[in-house]
Amino acid sequence: MAKEAISTPVIRRLPRYYRFLGELEREQVERISSRELAQRMGLSASQIRQDFNCFGGFGQQGFGYHVKELREIIGEILGVRKDTGVIMIGAGNLGKAIAAHVDFEKRGCKLIGIFDNNPLLAGTMTASLPIMPMESLDSFCEQHKPQAAVLCIPKDAAQQLADKLISLGIVGFWNFSHFDLRINNPDIIVENVHLGDSLMTLAYCMHHRDETDE
Ligand code: NAI
């Protein structure tokens, strides 16, 4: 496999390739050409070939891509078998919805602890896990060594909490707090998620339909 660094736009497309290849596998499709995959995904065939070339190609002239093999390779790149320990901070409306509806394990992660500073929530269950008080955070991290945190707290609390979590060993943030975290450490990875941005992208594309590329 090529060892070159993969660019961020390609990485952002990988989960989508992984999902579509999973669908093809369930439909028992063994191989697919870049043209057919492109049609299915609403991309261009050259985009797909370019993307897959970033991690070694794998297409064969006249054969296309081997669906199962390609999905395994993309899954390996995405780390879907890694079992990364994840904690969640903030078990309000959003936190509970994410805990209940995101299949962490299918994506190489395991939600192992949920924390909230509301004493009324302590001990109540979400996604089969008891919500723990913030006072338990240090000892929990020491014992279970989670690597990533989902932040579903108000934005005012996000930066301070992130700094504390880094001191407890967290190296990845899935941050929903509506505050773009500032972390001056290249070893810490932050994925800021704003659902509203996605809605605005939709609105833009709808209003500029005639100008967007095929
Ligand atoms: P919520 O008020 O229902 O839940 C927030 C929870 O965080 C509460 O249970 C509260 O006790 C807890 N909390 C507050 N400060 C804390 C701290 N310092 N430590 C631990 N727990 C703390 O709010 P909701 O609706 O769940 O939203 C949570 C955050 O996510 C808000 O900031 C909201 O603006 C944001 N949000 C972001 C979205 C996105 O697309 N990024 C979409 C929806 C909401």
pLDDT digits (tens, 9 = 90+) for 69-113: 999 999 998 988 888 999 999 999 999 999 999 999 999 999 999
Q: Are 99 and 126 in contact (CB under 8 A)?
A: yes
Q: Kindly give the pairing relationship between strand 125-126 and strand 129-133.
A: antiparallel
The residue to which tokens 């790149």 are assigned: 77
Q: Are 20 and 34 in contact (CB under 8 A)?
A: no
Residue located nearest, by CA, to atom 44 of ligand 1: 94
Ligand 1 pocket: which of 87, 88, 89, 94 to mutate (most atoms <8 Å of CB)? Answer: 94
Stretch 135-164: mean pLDDT:
97
Domain ranges of the chain: 8-76, 84-197
Q: Which atom of ligand 1 is nearest to the CA of 121?
A: 9
The residue to which tokens 């299918």 are assigned: 106
For residue 56, the tally of other CB atoms under 10 A from its CB is 12
- Quick check: CB of 116 below 6 Å from ligand 1? yes
**Calpha distance 109→55 (Å, rounded):** 23
Give the single-character DSSP code of 148. Answer: E
Instruction: Give me the pLDDT at residue 131, please.
Output: 98
Report CA(36)–ligand 1 centroid distance (Å): 42
Percent of the chain past pLDDT 90, that is, above it, reads: 77
Instruction: Return the CATH number of the domain spanning residue range 8-76.
Output: 1.10.10.10
Instruction: Give me the pLDDT at residue 199, please.
Output: 95
* Count of alpha carbons within 13 angstroms of residue 39, beta-carbon side: 4
- Quick check: CB of 118 below 6 Å from ligand 1? yes
Instruction: Give me the pLDDT at residue 213, please.
Output: 53
Whether residue 1 is predicted with pLDDT greater than 70 in this model: the reply is no
- Quick check: CB of 152 below 6 Å from ligand 1? yes
Can you tell me whether residue 145 is helix, strand or coil?
A: coil
Condensed to tens digits (0 to 9), the pLDDT of residues 160-180 reads: 999 999 999 999 999 999 999
Q: Residue 146's pLDDT band (boundaries 50, 70, 90)?
A: very high
Q: Residue 205's pLDDT band (boundaries 50, 70, 90)?
A: confident
The residue to which tokens 């509806």 are assigned: 101
Q: Kindly give the pairing relationship between strand 129-133 and strand 31-32.
A: unpaired
Contact partners, residue 57, CB within 8 Å, separation at least 6: none
Residue located nearest, by CA, to atom 37 of ligand 1: 176
For residue 41, the tally of other CB atoms under 10 A from its CB is 16
Say which CATH superfamily domain 84-197 falls into.
NAD(P)-binding Rossmann-like Domain (3.40.50.720)
Stretch 48-56: mean pLDDT:
84
Query: Average pLDDT over the chain, rounded to whole?
Result: 91
The whole-model pTM stands at 0.88
- Quick check: CB of 134 below 6 Å from ligand 1? yes
